[in-house]
Amino acid sequence: MKRKGLDLNKFADWEVGKDYECVKLLGQGSYGAVCSAIHKPTQKKVAIKKMTGVFEDDVDCKRILRELHLLSKLAHTFVVELFDLIEPKD
């Protein structure tokens, strides 16, 4: 369903599970897209980064795994905390 300036299905292909609700697309980059979302059980505002083709290129895959590893270790006011990791169905 689409109304003037409003696309209600823009997150239809985002497999985020039942605990999250995507709210707004924040941006897109070379590794995917980021949206703001709500973690339903806690009502906490989160950002979800959707990456596609993660395993298609060895160098890109290593960079993404390095980012995940670093985010899991860092704890600082000005660094985004890794809250959850959602595995794709495929």
Domains along the chain with CATH numbers: 2-53 (3.30.200.20)
All residues at 6 or more sequence positions from 67 whose CB lies less than 8 Å from its CB, including other chains:
none
- Residue 31: the pLDDT is 78
Higher pLDDT, 1 or 48: 48
**12 pLDDT above the threshold of 80:** yes
Residue with tokens 């497999």: 15
Please report how many Cα atoms fall inside a 13 Å half-sphere around the Cα of residue 63, on the Cβ side: 10
50 neighbors 36 (Cβ within 8 angstroms)? no
Mean pLDDT of all residues belonging to the chain: 85
Listed residue (31, 11, 13) closest to 21, CA to CA: 11
Q: Please write the tens of the pLDDT for every residue from 59-77.
A: 988 988 998 899 889 989 9
pLDDT over threshold 90, residue 10: no
Does residue 5 surpass a pLDDT of 80?
Answer: no
For residue 69, how far is the Cα from the chain centroid?
16
